[in-house]
C-alpha cells in the first residue's frame, strides 16, 4: 500500500500522529528548559527530547517502520508522564499533557498502521 492510496481516515491519523509527536517534542524541551525545570535556568533533562528527534523525519513522512519504532518509544514518555503526574503544578499539569500527547500519538499511529499490517498479513498468506 503506497501513501498515494491512503484512506481519509489514515491521512487524518497520520496528521494527528505527526502533530502530537511535534507537540510532545516541544513540550518535553520547554518543560525542562523554561516551564518547570528541576533547577532554575534549565536542567540537563532537556536532553530527554533527543530521542524524539531520531524518528521525527519518518514520523512526519508516515514511514511504516519508523512509526512502529516510534510506538515503542512513546511508551517511555507516557510512563514518565504517569510517574510525574503527581508532582505539584506546573510539573504535574505538564505531565498530564505529556500523557495525553503520547496517547494521542499512540492511538493515531495504530489507526494509521492497521491497514499496512493487514496488507502484510495477506501477502504473507496468514
What pLDDT sits at residue 5?
A: 87
106 contacts: CB under 8 Å, gap ≥ 6: 71, 74, 75, 78
Q: 4-16 pLDDT, tens per residue?
A: 689 999 999 999 9
How many angstroms separate the Cα of 117 from the Cα of each of 26, 59, 68? 30, 17, 10
What pLDDT sits at residue 2?
A: 55
86 contacts: CB under 8 Å, gap ≥ 6: 92
Q: 66-123 pLDDT, tens per residue?
A: 999 999 999 999 999 999 999 999 999 999 999 999 999 999 999 999 999 999 999 9
> Of 57, 58, 55, nearest to 76 (Cα)?
55
pLDDT at 1 over 80: no
pLDDT at 38 over 90: no
Q: What percent of the chain has pLDDT over 70?
A: 96
Q: What is the DSSP letter of 45?
A: G
Amino acid at each position: 500500500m503506497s501513501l498515494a492510496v491512503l484512506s481519509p481516515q489514515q491521512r487524518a491519523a497520520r496528521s494527528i500522529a505527526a502533530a502530537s509527536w511535534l507537540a510532545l517534542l516541544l513540550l518535553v524541551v520547554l518543560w525542562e528548559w523554561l516551564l518547570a525545570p528541576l533547577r532554575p535556568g534549565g536542567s540537563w533533562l532537556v536532553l530527554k527530547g533527543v530521542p524524539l528527534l531520531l524518528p521525527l523525519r519518518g514520523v512526519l513522512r508516515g514511514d511504516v517502520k519508523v512509526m512502529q519504532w516510534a510506538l515503542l518509544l512513546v511508551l517511555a514518555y507516557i510512563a514518565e508522564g504517569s510517574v510525574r503526574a503527581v508532582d505539584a503544578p506546573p510539573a504535574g499539569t505538564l505531565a498530564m499533557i505529556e500523557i495525553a500527547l503520547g496517547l494521542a500519538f499512540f492511538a493515531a499511529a495504530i489507526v494509521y498502521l492497521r491497514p499496512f499490517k493487514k496488507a502484510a498479513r495477506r501477502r504473507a498468506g496468514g
